[in-house]
Amino acid sequence: MSHNDETRSNTLSIKEGQLYIEGCSTVELAEKFGTPLFVLSEKHLRQNLRAYQAAFEAHWPEGEVRIMPAIKANPTIAVRRVLSEEGAGCDVFGPGELECALRGGVNPEMISVNGSIKDHAIIEKAILLGARIVLDSPKELEICNEVGEKLNKTARVMFRLKPYLHDLGERSDFLPQQEIRELTQTIKYGIPTSEVLPMGPRAIELPFVEPVGVHIHMGRHSKKLAVWSQLIKGYVDLISQLSARMGGWIPQEVDFGGGFAAPQDQETRVAVTDYPTPSLGDYARTITTSFRNAMQRHGLSTNGIMIEVEPGRGLHNETMIHLTQVHNIKQESINLDHRWAEVDTSEVFLGIMGVNPTPPFDYVVANKAYRPRNHRFDIVGMTCNAEWLYQQVPVPELEAGDIIAMLNTGAYIEPMAANFNALPRPGMVLVNGDQADMIKRHETLDDVFARHVVPERLR
């Protein structure tokens, strides 16, 4: 449980042989709320949010800093309430996440509506709310003006840019066979440069559109600070081209997106994680300094510019653990010497489909946390797949009833859980000190079949 950033301390500890999250025993949580279960530390989440705010504020005296967590990483209403209490804005993708942000108490003016193929309905809702719209195509710009005219209300918009990173030969940590330069161009999101350059002057012409800023999101392609600084350089090159076409327009809201690795960065969704994660301070310094310098080189003022970041994984990854219970031990001693611990969770709840040669998450046997790990087991999930969550990993002697905690499961895991084998998906608990509340109940079989319809003729 070591990490490299003092301001983001971990809230896990071991007491009397049991794993605790804040002041709660995970063994008691498993018993009280049932497994499988996601458990999130509110303190850890608040600390992370404050660390982002402080890191970027320390390096950006020119203007406001807004942390806009990407709701997709953990779209849970109570989680969003915590972040809203902390004063955070929000990046949303599409109408569902917009609804989550509203129910989660985000100040509508601090919502940034991202997403592909935005239709009239979402644009109308955003304009009425006073939320900002991150344009992903010229078509969306025209819809904004059309809807703005109908409502007699101006749409605040940002251009989502796709700078070409000429000088960058680095490969992506996400898809290591591809160069970042190529991926950031071929990936669908963002407005192609040939389309965005004419959009600038067009936005100025349109009476019901106010272009307030620019947006970029590279994604979790690299932790190397040199890559981030190249990205920002390319970003500003494109901003200056847009500015020239728009009569010297300077974006007053500049969003750098997400893609910052989590401190522990043990991610199932990222292929290359085995080099150090920079501290938040280093990310913040690199991004702000590269931005400031590049703007100066282009003769563009940074005075009063509000900067924004949209962390997803970097904010949430380590705030949540996943608890599962061992239900049965299988043992083969004739054909081979092998033991399996069958647990009540599944790869389909954990985003780790297929055979995993290396353990996907750090783990702790929560009720035997001090015992030596001197036995080897496969820990297998409960669908009809092979479900090798862990193969022959060192653990204390396991038996039915043991609770296994999988760490660092806070980002993009729970929202991608599926219902394979008609399994109801796990619930979520929020811990605050010694208090624990269910914030998303366990799914039921009625939920699983709620959308099924049997036509009259088949009844």
Ligand X SMILES: Cc1ncc(COP(=O)(O)O)c(C=O)c1O
Site for ligand X in 220-239 (CB under 6 A): 220
- Closest contact distance (angstroms) between CB of 323 and ligand X is 23
Q: Which stretch binds ligand X (CB under 6 A): 8-16, 170-178, 253-261, 357-365?
A: 253-261
Tokens 């690199």 locate to 286
- Closest contact distance (angstroms) between CB of 415 and ligand X is 11
Does a cis peptide bond (omega within 30 degrees of 0) precede residue 311?
Answer: no
Helices (H), 152-224: 180-186, 193-205
Of 217 and 285, CB closest to ligand X: 217
Of 114 and 145, CB closest to ligand X: 114
Interface with ligand X includes 351 (CB under 6 A)? no
The interface mask with ligand X, positions 160-199, x = CB under 6 A, is: ----------------------------------------
Extract the tokens encoding 288: 């702000």
Site for ligand X in 41-80 (CB under 6 A): 70, 72-73
The interface mask with ligand X, positions 86-115, x = CB under 6 A, is: -----x----------------------x-
Which residue number has the CB closest to ligand X?
Answer: 312
- Closest contact distance (angstroms) between CB of 218 and ligand X is 9
Q: Are 373 and 397 contacting, i.e. CB atoms less than 8 angstroms apart? A: no
- Closest contact distance (angstroms) between CB of 178 and ligand X is 17
Question: Residue 94 belongs to what H/E stretch?
Answer: helix 94-103
- Closest contact distance (angstroms) between CB of 134 and ligand X is 7
Of 71 and 366, CB closest to ligand X: 71
Return d(Cα 118, Cα 135) in angstroms, integer. Answer: 9
Residue 22 corresponds to which amino acid? Answer: E
Return d(Cα 77, Cα 73) in angstroms, integer. Answer: 12
- Closest contact distance (angstroms) between CB of 70 and ligand X is 4
Q: Which stretch binds ligand X (CB under 6 A): 12-20, 258-266, 392-400, 438-446?
A: 258-266
- Closest contact distance (angstroms) between CB of 58 and ligand X is 20
Of 68 and 168, CB closest to ligand X: 68
- # binding residues, ligand X (CB under 6 A): 17
Return d(Cα 447, Cα 438) in angstroms, integer. Answer: 17
Of 200 and 314, CB closest to ligand X: 314
Of 104 and 381, CB closest to ligand X: 104
Question: Residue 56 belongs to what H/E stretch?
Answer: helix 42-58
Among 260, 291, 340, 363, binds ligand X (CB under 6 A): 260
Q: Which long-range contacts (CB under 8 A, 24 or more apart) does 352-358 make?
A: 352/268, 352/389, 353/385, 355/386, 355/388, 355/391, 356/388, 356/389, 356/390, 356/391, 357/391
Interface with ligand X includes 217 (CB under 6 A)? yes
Q: Which long-range contacts (CB under 8 A, 24 or more apart) does 436-442 make?
A: 436/24, 436/29, 436/32, 436/33, 436/39, 437/78, 438/33, 439/40, 439/76, 439/77, 439/78, 439/79, 440/38, 440/76, 440/78, 442/34, 442/37
Residue 447 backbone dihedrals phi, psi, to 5 degrees: -60, -45
Extract the tokens encoding 343: 């647990």
- Closest contact distance (angstroms) between CB of 284 and ligand X is 14
Of 174 and 390, CB closest to ligand X: 174
- Closest contact distance (angstroms) between CB of 316 and ligand X is 8
Q: Are 214 and 242 contacting, i.e. CB atoms less than 8 angstroms apart? A: yes
The interface mask with ligand X, positions 288-317, x = CB under 6 A, is: ----------------------xxxxx---
- Closest contact distance (angstroms) between CB of 298 and ligand X is 24
Interface with ligand X includes 258 (CB under 6 A)? yes
Residue 455 backbone dihedrals phi, psi, to 5 degrees: -60, 150
Strand order in the sheet with 111-114: 65-67, 306-309, 253-255, 209-215, 155-160, 132-135, 111-114, 90-93
Q: Could you give the 3-state DSSP secondary structure of residue 168?
A: coil
Among 190, 251, 259, 263, binds ligand X (CB under 6 A): 259
Site for ligand X in 395-424 (CB under 6 A): none
Return d(Cα 303, Cα 368) in angstroms, integer. Answer: 56
Q: Which stretch binds ligand X (CB under 6 A): 195-203, 214-222, 348-356, 379-387?
A: 214-222
Return d(Cα 316, Cα 331) in angstroms, integer. Answer: 37
Q: Which stretch binds ligand X (CB under 6 A): 217-225, 246-254, 417-425, 432-440?
A: 217-225
Q: Which stretch binds ligand X (CB under 6 A): 4-12, 103-111, 255-263, 424-432?
A: 255-263
- Closest contact distance (angstroms) between CB of 54 and ligand X is 18
Return d(Cα 257, Cα 70) in angstroms, integer. Answer: 9
List residues near ligand X by CB under 6 A. 70, 72-73, 91, 114, 217, 219-220, 257-260, 310-314
